[in-house]
């Protein structure tokens, strides 16, 4: 009979673990549907970028107040999980506060530190809820944030608040049971934050206090596993993907646009330069640019899953600021939704360009890279926009007439203007006479 709680614990852990692993495989498979892209160069610079941007949250601190609150949640998430490790071991071994007898006074110091972090997380989440729903920060009220995206942001904050309250409530009940010398409850010393809840719980009989302590413990365990599963379907997947996403960042200068290999090969061939042999089967060359999510690189698809939906990219976008339809955040959200649809086998004859993202949106982009610079996890919406622009120009010949005239001028006159190269500097001749 004494093994029943441990068996229940294993079952409770096994079911969400299986679902999480299956979901991770699905996400990985969806990302690998993208085109190949080599991002394995300069590993030292990549590690540095990951530590500064993902671990250090360097770009977050352009807005100090939300950055500090986010840092509290981030550090709390990492450190408090050390206490969750003890929960897991207690559940597997049938113990209670496994580390307390071995760590002595340090256990009390650690627990107090965890509680202060839990309080910090709780306060930060409340502030973020107020920012979203009372103050209504403009970047959280854009059209793409209506419905589920807004609910997702609120729901995750509410879950985190509930988990922090559960920890504090559990610790308060534990202290009451310690004071009553209930067997199995090790002395942990006074815990600064949860001790404020002790008078509320101390008025109940021992059986109800034990039920409160065990209920909060189980709530936290189940909540953590449910949270981990939910995250894989949420924008909060960036908690994990921010690290590989920043590692595989584009290290080229932001103004540099990547050439298309097929076009580069053709140009070199025309100029008589040595080139690699073209594919034996022309169909292997694929299409120019991107019409659907699978035409994008695997990195762009990873970025779609890494998007935090914070809206900093859209807030900085000059096209969006002037009332254009373009929203870099929507580009990333649409890409994620489309690759999810493809991964679930529900393509239904649709495509990313046209059914999700319109030509009007991508044509509004000035390629200024403001969105890429603003993103706290180095996501590059411009890479997706440029690939779709390439498809429209090279596959559909569907660019605006003024653009096509410019393309023709560049092709014939080597400049956007309709002047022969020999006439380009005639305007300066009058300056010499002056």
**192 CB-near residues (< 8 Å, 6+ apart):** 112, 115, 116
Closest by CA position to 288, among listed 265, 271, 304: 265
Spatial distance between the Cα atoms of 202 and 175, rounded to a whole number of angstroms = 9
Decide if pLDDT at 241 tops 70.
Answer: yes
Would you call 357 helix, strand, or coil by DSSP? strand
Decide if pLDDT at 284 tops 80.
Answer: no
Check residue 277 and give its pLDDT: 62
Decide if pLDDT at 211 tops 60.
Answer: yes
Closest by CA position to 86, among listed 220, 208, 252: 220
Decide if pLDDT at 1 tops 50.
Answer: no
What is the CATH architecture of 261-422? Orthogonal Bundle (1.10)
52-56, 267-271, 290-294: the lowest-pLDDT one: 267-271
Spatial distance between the Cα atoms of 68 and 65, rounded to a whole number of angstroms = 5
Over the stretch 344-369, which tens digit does the pLDDT of each residue have? 988 788 999 999 999 999 999 999 99
Decide if pLDDT at 433 tops 70.
Answer: no
Check residue 117 and give its pLDDT: 93
User: In Å, how far are 97, 99, 106, 170, 171 from 102, measured between CA atoms?
Assistant: 10, 5, 9, 21, 19
Instruction: Tell me 396's DSSP state.
Output: S
Check residue 434 and give its pLDDT: 59
Per-chain mean pLDDT for the chain: 90
Q: How far is CA 39 from the centre of its chain?
A: 19
233-237, 255-259, 363-367: the lowest-pLDDT one: 255-259
Q: Tell which phi-psi region holds residue 286, choosing left (phi > 0), alpha (psi between -120 and 50) or beta.
A: left
| pLDDT level of residue 68 (50, 70, 90 thresholds) | very high
**245 CB-near residues (< 8 Å, 6+ apart):** 54, 238, 302, 303, 306, 377, 378, 379
Closest by CA position to 220, among listed 157, 179, 161, 155: 161
Over the stretch 306-352, which tens digit does the pLDDT of each residue have? 999 999 999 999 999 999 999 999 999 999 999 999 999 887 889 99
Closest by CA position to 49, among listed 300, 247, 306: 247
Instruction: Tell me 55's DSSP state.
Output: I
For the chain, percent of residues with pLDDT exceeding 70: 96
Check residue 194 and give its pLDDT: 95
Check residue 246 and give its pLDDT: 97
12-16, 196-200, 298-302, 414-418: the lowest-pLDDT one: 414-418
| pLDDT level of residue 196 (50, 70, 90 thresholds) | very high
Report whether 182 contacts 213 (CB < 8 A). Answer: no
Half-sphere exposure of 263 (CA within 13 A, CB side): 10
For the chain, domain boundaries:
4-31+63-247, 261-422
Q: How far is CA 428 from the centre of its chain?
A: 52
Torsion of CA 334, 340, 342, 344, to 10 degrees: -150
> pTM for this structure?
0.89
The mean per-residue pLDDT over the stretch 373-398 comes to: 94
Spatial distance between the Cα atoms of 65 and 424, rounded to a whole number of angstroms = 52
Decide if pLDDT at 178 tops 70.
Answer: yes
Would you call 185 helix, strand, or coil by DSSP? coil
Check residue 183 and give its pLDDT: 84
9-13, 162-166, 274-278, 307-311: the lowest-pLDDT one: 274-278
Decide if pLDDT at 280 tops 90.
Answer: no
Check residue 35 and give its pLDDT: 94
């Amino acid at each position: 009979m004494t093994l029943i709680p441990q068996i229940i614990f294993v079952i409770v852990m096994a079911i969400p673990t299986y679902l999480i692993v299956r979901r991770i495989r699905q996400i990985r498979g969806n990302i690998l549907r993208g085109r190949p892209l080599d991002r394995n160069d300069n590993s030292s610079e990549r590690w540095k970028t990951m530590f500064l941007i993902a671990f250090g949250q360097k770009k977050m601190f352009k807005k100090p107040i939300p950055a500090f609150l986010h840092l509290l949640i981030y550090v709390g998430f990492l450190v408090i999980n050390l206490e969750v490790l003890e929960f897991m071991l207690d559940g597997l071994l049938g113990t209670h506060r496994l580390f307390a007898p071995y760590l002595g006074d340090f256990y009390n110091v650690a627990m107090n530190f965890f509680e202060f972090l839990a309080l910090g997380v709780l306060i930060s989440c409340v502030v973020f809820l107020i920012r979203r729903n009372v103050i209504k920060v403009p970047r959280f009220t854009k059209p793409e944030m209506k419905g589920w995206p807004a609910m997702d942001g609120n729901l995750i904050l509410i879950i985190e608040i509930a988990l922090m309250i559960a920890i504090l409530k559990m610790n308060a009940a534990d202290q009451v049971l310690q004071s009553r010398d209930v067997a199995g409850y090790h002395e942990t010393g006074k815990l600064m934050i949860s001790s404020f809840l002790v008078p509320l719980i101390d008025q109940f009989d021992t059986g109800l206090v034990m039920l409160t302590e065990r209920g909060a413990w189980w709530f936290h365990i189940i909540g953590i596993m449910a949270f981990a599963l939910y995250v894989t379907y949420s924008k909060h997947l960036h908690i994990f993907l921010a690290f590989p996403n920043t590692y595989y960042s584009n290290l080229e200068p932001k103004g540099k646009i990547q050439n298309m290999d097929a076009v580069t090969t053709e140009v070199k061939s025309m100029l008589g330069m040595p080139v690699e042999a073209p594919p034996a089967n022309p169909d292997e060359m694929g299409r120019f640019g991107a019409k659907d999510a699978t035409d994008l690189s695997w990195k762009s698809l990873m970025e779609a899953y890494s998007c935090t939906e914070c809206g900093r990219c859209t807030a900085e976008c000059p096209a969006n600021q002037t009332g254009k339809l373009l929203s870099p955040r929507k580009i990333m959200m649409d890409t994620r939704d489309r690759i999810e649809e493809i991964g679930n086998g529900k393509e239904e004859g649709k495509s990313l360009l046209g059914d999700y993202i319109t030509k009007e949106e991508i044509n509004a982009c000035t390629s200024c890279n403001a969105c890429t610079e603003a993103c706290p996890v180095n996501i590059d919406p411009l890479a997706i926009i440029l690939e779709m622009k390439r498809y429209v120009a090279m596959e559909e010949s569907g660019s605006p007439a003024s653009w096509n005239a410019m393309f023709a001028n560049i092709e014939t006159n080597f400049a956007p203007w309709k002047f022969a190269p020999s006439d380009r500097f005639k305007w300066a001749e009058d300056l010499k006479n002056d």
